[in-house]
Structure 1
């Protein structure tokens, strides 16, 4: 068994996705964590941890989607994480997809805000991640996300 401390890239877009990602911090104890998000204003929330900026994007601006994916690819190549975890949205989608290409273990936790159905990003990426989670028991199923409780 290796004594190597796992390196986690915890990445999300801003707002509720970021808040939800930060609620997972106790689960990362003992790991080397790099937090990445879309606003410099979030840096104080992870004081003492590594913090990186990525380009924000959403489906309404295709050029920003390309810029976001490129910024995340550069980040992943420079940081070389063992695990990528995201709570969404578009930047998280790119992080876990690129993670799979780079042979990194991936985790997707669908947004708590998506109580009636899975997020679009979650639906698109869920089948290709190593661990796909939802916080809503009625959205979990054998082929879809698993539910092990709530972050909130």
Structure 2
């Protein structure tokens, strides 16, 4: 099985890395944002780097379009069977494109969110094959989700 690991940098990437024992059993690759940390990761792992994105900046629509097409290219090239996503904004195209390609999509809501849903979570919840929350309190926002506990 081939697995795409889609996430933003920072805590989202840290959470993804906590799943290492699981994804290392498979052929896998990362789709994440381009930073010094992820460039170091790319020296050891198969990593596709995307532009950093901020929805409050003037160039957000343009960058989102660029990220969409880079992600499309990556998913067509790699042909994953499963996409695991920990958020945030830059990972939305991976989930949408993956679903359109009829791939399984697993979304793990952020550990940092225990009292309100994320924007990415609210969007992906509508079509994820498996949606996991790390706090039981989040089941009130995502009633069909699975409570998986902390991945830390």
Q: TM-score range by the shorter chain?
A: 0.7 to 0.9
**TM-score, reference length from structure 2:** 0.88
Provide the TM-score with structure 1 as the length reference.
Answer: 0.88
Match of 1:50 in 2: 46
After superposition, the CA RMSD in angstroms is: 1.7
Alignment of 1:65-104 (within 5 A): 65-104=64-103
Q: Which one of 15, 23, 34 corresponds to residue 20 of structure 1?
A: 15
d(CA) in 2 for partners of 1:130, 1:97 = 12
CA deviations over 1:67-89 (Å, ceiling 9, x no partner): 11111111101111010111011
Unaligned regions of 5+ residues in structure 2, if any?
none
SS of 1:96's equivalent? helix
- After TM superposition, the structure 1 = structure 2 runs for residues 126-145 of structure 1, keeping only pairs within 5 Å, are 126-140=125-139, 143-145=143-145
**SS of 1:106's equivalent?**
strand
Runs of 4+ more than 3 Å apart: 43-48, 141-144
Q: Is there any run of 5+ residues in structure 1 with no aligned partner, and where?
A: 1-5
Q: CA deviation at 1:94?
A: 1.3
